[in-house]
Chain A
Amino acid sequence: MTQQAEPRDRSRGLSRRQLLSRSTAAGAAFVIGPGFIAAKDAAWAAETSVLKPATFATLVQMARDIYPHDHVGDEFYVIAVKGYDTEGAAPGIEAGIASLDAAAQGKGFASYLDTGWERDRVDILRGIEDSLFFQQIRGGLVTGLYNQKAVWPYFGYEGESYSQGGYIDRGFDDINWL
């Protein structure tokens, strides 16, 4: 029974293995991160080694549309999906992005990036959200984006606290608006 359930379940959510491998992958991506951050603006799009630059640009836009945070810069989304720019992962990503563009064309746009409003892209994504490709990208972002230490300050999260002596003298009970 579970044998049959497994593949479908995998596509829906994160299995433990995916969680773990992705958290490691994100860690690795983070290490190579600073070089990317230095290359701000749009220069990153050209820096792919296997994926076509247009594919990567679409992938980054898709990542932002799945988890949009307007105060978080593109570099964090780039880092989050940079792990797919490998010989092993690229064919699946090229195919996935091609199907995304096909879905966009089905809705009257030249491509996914040709859309104007986020709502148009979200509408396209809703149409493919049960696909393995969408779930792979979304699942990977959960750790790939949110487990980047450098992104935490954008959410106010302070991370590790032991080395600073905890919060006993640093505001564990400083709420003042109640």
Chain B
Amino acid sequence: MAAPFDLSDDSVVVIIGTGAGGGVLANELAQKGVSVVALEAGGRYLPEDYVNDEWESFGQLAWVDPRTTSGDWRVAKDFSGLPAWIVKAVGGTTTHWAGASLRFQEHEWKAATTYGPVQGASLLDWPIDGAEMAPWYEKAETKLGVTRTGDRAGLPGNNNYKVFEAGAKALGYTEVHTGRMAINSADYDGRVACQQTGFCFQGCKWGAKWSAAYTDIPRGEATGNLEVREKAHAARILHDDTGKVTGVEYFDGDGNLQMQAARVVCVAGNSFESPRLLLNSASSMFPDGLANSSGQVGRNYMRHMTGSVYATFEKPVRMWRGTTMAGIISDEAKHDPSRGFVGGYEMETLALGIPFMAAFLDPGGWGREFTTALDSYENMAGMWLVGEDMPQETNRVTLNHEVKDQWGLPVVNVHFDDHPNDVAMRNHAYRQGAAVYDAVGATRTFPTPPYPSTHNLGTNRMSENPRDGVVNRWGRTHDVANLYVSDGSQFTTGAAENPTLTIVALAIRQADHIASEMSAGNL
């Protein structure tokens, strides 16, 4: 049967969310001839719709439904209603993302074994490893057109990169380059080369940056096997009395409750909405939520150890010109406990425009200490710090029954406390980041606190043993045979690298698995 599909058609795979995980999975399954209905809470925006304006773009694309926060992280104080900066649109957060596309390091698949016991951390080894993932990474890199992989050249360095590179080299760092980016350095796959407009976070108007919105999704739709339903907010996953899922209830664009029957359901709403959906699907058979016999749904929330370092110089940098994040120093990404923490971190160039810089440089800050920094905005360079944070059982997404969204559904509360390892790593990274800029004559440096989370991971983690996590090595829930998790919430541990390449590689691999299980009659 070809798309569009009937609500009662129970032969379809229903995917919830169309971002890095769901959007790729939808296309990959459609290419294999599997019928797919993808439910996406947001609307559809394409390059012609994107705007080169930070707040206007945020208003257009960001997820702004209510959420609440608790814990000692500064985000809970400064942005209490906005724990994460993620997108609600066809293509998900791949519209906003910067494109940094890194593989995990070998040892990061086995964090518990490599790091040993860390007090207060719920570290666990992934049930898969680098060797198993290598071919899937290669497919993902080819799909995204990642620079410096295959025969694709690196991007040229912009002003912000040149300052960063000069500082890194002066400091003796050796692993410095313009990054492995899902941004075309030359025309590739029907998309143009990067024009250095500098609004990668606002959706690339040239289409030079990979986003599922204008690659995988239309390609999947072109097969006739994929129907994407926009403005369709999944509310609950239904099951029968054998414990298999049978369909998904969702609110359509007019606010009417609909039910789409399903043969298989794949949850890919990012690490807050995916566990929320499982918890909101509690029933008499699954009183603690679907797929939650382990009690792990919503736990082990990770957001990466992040922070930024900005610096001012005597002369202009104009960091906003060109790619937002094409620059990396990987020397600190290794695991070297002599630094006083386990795991490692990457340093990556980052530029914000004046509107976001005012909001994020030092949230709550005022007076001349703050404003003289902005007065030197033209002379400013910037980097983002991203490292492995420790999973903790108590860092957790739960339902907040006191607060309801526009559908009357309980929203999530996101609780996060930094682990001492995260704090030690951040302080080290602040020092090293400042040293990079001091090495090329910074007049002042700014250790900037983490923004609302852009990397949200771990709340339905993958585990060998069903007691320790929610899904198995394929992202299939331990408890329900025809229910999958297909986004970053599967992550067992976070590694130091930006997560999306791994989310995409896992989605391609999962599509292969689901298609073969279907033809083997196991689904």
The residues of A with any CB-CB pair to B shorter than 8 Å are 1-3, 5-6, 9-10, 12-17, 19-20, 23-24, 66-69, 71, 122, 129, 138, 142-143, 145-147, 152, 155-162, 165-168, 170-175, 177-178
Nearest to B355 among chain A residues (CB) is A147
Min CB distance, B274 to chain A, in Å? 20
B interface size (C-beta, 8 A):
63
Contact with A along B39-83 (1 / 0, CB 8 A): 000000000000111011011000010001110000011111110
Known: A20-B64, A69-B374. A172 touches B196 (CB 8 A): yes
B166 at the interface (CB under 8 A from A): yes
Q: Is the CB of A167 within 8 A of B196?
A: yes
Q: Is the CB of B52 within 8 A of A172?
A: no
Q: Is the CB of B197 within 8 A of A167?
A: yes
Q: Is the CB of B359 within 8 A of A143?
A: yes
Q: Is the CB of B371 within 8 A of A2?
A: no
> 6 additional contacts, CB 8 Å, given A138-B366, A167-B198, A172-B198?
A2-B413, A17-B81, A23-B56, A161-B197, A172-B321, A175-B318
Q: Is the CB of B322 within 8 A of A2?
A: no
Q: Is the CB of A20 within 8 A of B195?
A: no
In the bound complex, residues from chain B placing their C-beta under 8 Å from that of A161 are 52, 197-199, 321
In the bound complex, residues from chain A placing their C-beta under 8 Å from that of B358 are 142-143, 145-146
Instruction: Tell me the complex Cα distance, A173–B319, Å.
Output: 9
Min CB distance, A155 to chain B, in Å? 4
In the bound complex, residues from chain B placing their C-beta under 8 Å from that of A6 are 68, 80
Q: Is the CB of B53 within 8 A of A15?
A: no
Q: Is the CB of B70 within 8 A of A157?
A: no
Instruction: Tell me the complex Cα distance, A159–B314, Å.
Output: 22
Min CB distance, B455 to chain A, in Å? 18
Instruction: Tell me the complex Cα distance, A125–B413, Å.
Output: 34
In the bound complex, residues from chain A placing their C-beta under 8 Å from that of B315 are 177
Instruction: Tell me the complex Cα distance, A142–B363, Å.
Output: 9
Q: Is the CB of A2 within 8 A of B198?
A: no
Q: Is the CB of B205 within 8 A of A162?
A: yes
Q: Is the CB of B53 within 8 A of A16?
A: no
Q: Is the CB of A166 within 8 A of B198?
A: yes
B353 at the interface (CB under 8 A from A): yes
Min CB distance, B397 to chain A, in Å? 12
In the bound complex, residues from chain B placing their C-beta under 8 Å from that of A23 are 55-56, 58-59, 355
Known: A155-B354, A162-B199. A19 touches B162 (CB 8 A): no
Q: Is the CB of A175 within 8 A of B377?
A: no
Q: Is the CB of A173 within 8 A of B157?
A: yes
Instruction: Tell me the complex Cα distance, A6–B357, Å.
Output: 25
Q: Is the CB of B320 within 8 A of A69?
A: no
B440 at the interface (CB under 8 A from A): yes
Instruction: Tell me the complex Cα distance, A178–B164, Å.
Output: 11
Interface residue from B51, B82, B156, B400 paired with A173 (Cβ < 8 Å): B156
Nearest to A173 among chain B residues (CB) is B158
Q: List 22 A-B contacts (CB under 8 A).
A: A5-B69, A5-B76, A6-B68, A9-B77, A12-B77, A13-B80, A14-B359, A17-B64, A67-B370, A68-B368, A69-B371, A69-B374, A146-B354, A146-B374, A156-B318, A161-B52, A162-B52, A167-B197, A171-B321, A172-B198, A175-B316, A177-B314
Nearest to A164 among chain B residues (CB) is B197
The residues of B with any CB-CB pair to A shorter than 8 Å are 51-53, 55-56, 58-59, 64, 68-70, 76-82, 156-159, 162-163, 166, 194-199, 205-206, 314-318, 320-322, 353-355, 357-359, 363-364, 366-368, 370-371, 374-375, 377-378, 400, 402-403, 413, 440
In the bound complex, residues from chain B placing their C-beta under 8 Å from that of A67 are 366, 370-371
Nearest to B359 among chain A residues (CB) is A142
Min CB distance, B461 to chain A, in Å? 24
Q: Is the CB of A143 within 8 A of B355?
A: yes
Known: A15-B81, A166-B196, A167-B197. A155 touches B375 (CB 8 A): yes
In the bound complex, residues from chain A placing their C-beta under 8 Å from that of B378 are 155-157
Q: Is the CB of A175 within 8 A of B317?
A: yes
User: Which 8 A-B residue pairings sit nearest by Cβ, starting from the closest?
Assistant: A156-B378, A9-B80, A166-B195, A166-B197, A172-B322, A146-B358, A16-B82, A2-B68
Q: Is the CB of B77 within 8 A of A13?
A: yes
Q: Is the CB of B82 within 8 A of A66?
A: no
Instruction: Tell me the complex Cα distance, A145–B358, Å.
Output: 9
Instruction: Tell me the complex Cα distance, A23–B56, Å.
Output: 8
Instruction: Tell me the complex Cα distance, A159–B321, Å.
Output: 10
Instruction: Tell me the complex Cα distance, A70–B146, Å.
Output: 45
Instruction: Tell me the complex Cα distance, A159–B353, Å.
Output: 8
Q: Is the CB of A14 within 8 A of B78?
A: yes
Min CB distance, B459 to chain A, in Å? 17
In the bound complex, residues from chain B placing their C-beta under 8 Å from that of A173 are 156-159, 162, 322
Nearest to B195 among chain A residues (CB) is A166
Q: Is the CB of B162 within 8 A of A178?
A: yes
Known: A157-B320, A160-B53. A66 touches B367 (CB 8 A): yes
Instruction: Tell me the complex Cα distance, A173–B164, Å.
Output: 13
Nearest to B402 among chain A residues (CB) is A3
Min CB distance, A117 to chain B, in Å? 13
Interface residue from B157, B162, B320 paired with A158 (Cβ < 8 Å): B320
Q: Is the CB of B364 within 8 A of A12?
A: yes
